[in-house]
């Protein structure tokens, strides 16, 4: 691997714990790898020059996955169980950035993820585009995995 250049963001895969299906690892876009540390401000009596800023909880954006609509997807079956039966089965999700030799560069593990939103792009008879489904997942937290 050539370490002179930063990795490209278009070569990755997504794995769902307990949903081992080759069709459910290919996505065209993954977003939401964001964490924000909240702040609490404390005003000290008699101190007018500044307020104290102290760290609070960390909040995480939803993990957003986009891909072409697939028939017979185990991922969508998992989602339908939540949507139609209100039966939630949190799962671990692993997002891995790959190099040009398909070797892992970085991985992020999302803990106890569950589906919260599903949408399909508009159907338009005047355009020749793939129907794209967007899946949003909530989770407790994520952590960067140590690859060695």
Cα-flanking dihedrals φ and ψ of residue 109, to 5°? -105, 125
| pLDDT for the residue numbered 6 | 58
| 111 belongs to a structural domain | yes
| 68 belongs to a structural domain | yes
Q: From 122, 127, 132, select the one nearest 64 (Cα to Cα).
A: 132
| 40 belongs to a structural domain | no
- Alpha-carbon distance of 109 to 60, in angstroms, equals 13
Measured CA angle at 44 (ends 39, 47), to 5 deg: 120
- Alpha-carbon distance of 147 to 109, in angstroms, equals 12
| 138 belongs to a structural domain | yes
| 7 belongs to a structural domain | no
What CATH number did the domain enclosing 81 receive?
2.30.110.20
Domain that holds residue 16: 12-34+60-145
Looking at the DSSP bridge assignments, the partners of residue 33 are none
| 128 belongs to a structural domain | yes
| pLDDT for the residue numbered 76 | 86
pTM for this prediction? 0.81
List the chain pLDDT tens, one digit each, 148 residues: 445 655 666 778 898 998 776 666 678 899 999 999 999 999 999 988 999 999 999 999 999 999 888 877 888 889 889 989 999 999 999 999 888 888 888 899 999 999 999 998 888 888 888 889 999 999 999 999 876 5
| 45 belongs to a structural domain | no
| 20 belongs to a structural domain | yes
- Alpha-carbon distance of 31 to 74, in angstroms, equals 21
| pLDDT for the residue numbered 2 | 47
What total number of domains does the chain contain?
Answer: 1
């Amino acid at each position: 691997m050539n370490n002179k250049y930063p990795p490209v963001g278009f070569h990755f895969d997504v794995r769902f714990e307990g949903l081992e299906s080759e069709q459910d690892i290919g996505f065209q876009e993954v977003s939401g790898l964001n964490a924000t540390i909240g702040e609490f401000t404390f005003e000290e009596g008699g101190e007018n020059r500044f307020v104290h800023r102290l760290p609070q909880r960390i909040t995480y954006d939803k993990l957003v996955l986009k891909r072409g609509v697939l028939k017979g997807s185990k991922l969508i079956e998992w989602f339908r169980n939540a949507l139609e039966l209100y039966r939630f089965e949190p799962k671990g999700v692993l997002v891995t950035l790959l190099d040009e030799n398909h070797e892992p560069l970085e991985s992020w593990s999302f803990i106890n993820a569950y589906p919260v939103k599903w949408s399909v792009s508009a159907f338009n008879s005047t355009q020749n585009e793939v129907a794209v489904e967007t899946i949003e997942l909530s989770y407790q937290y994520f952590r960067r995995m140590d690859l060695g």
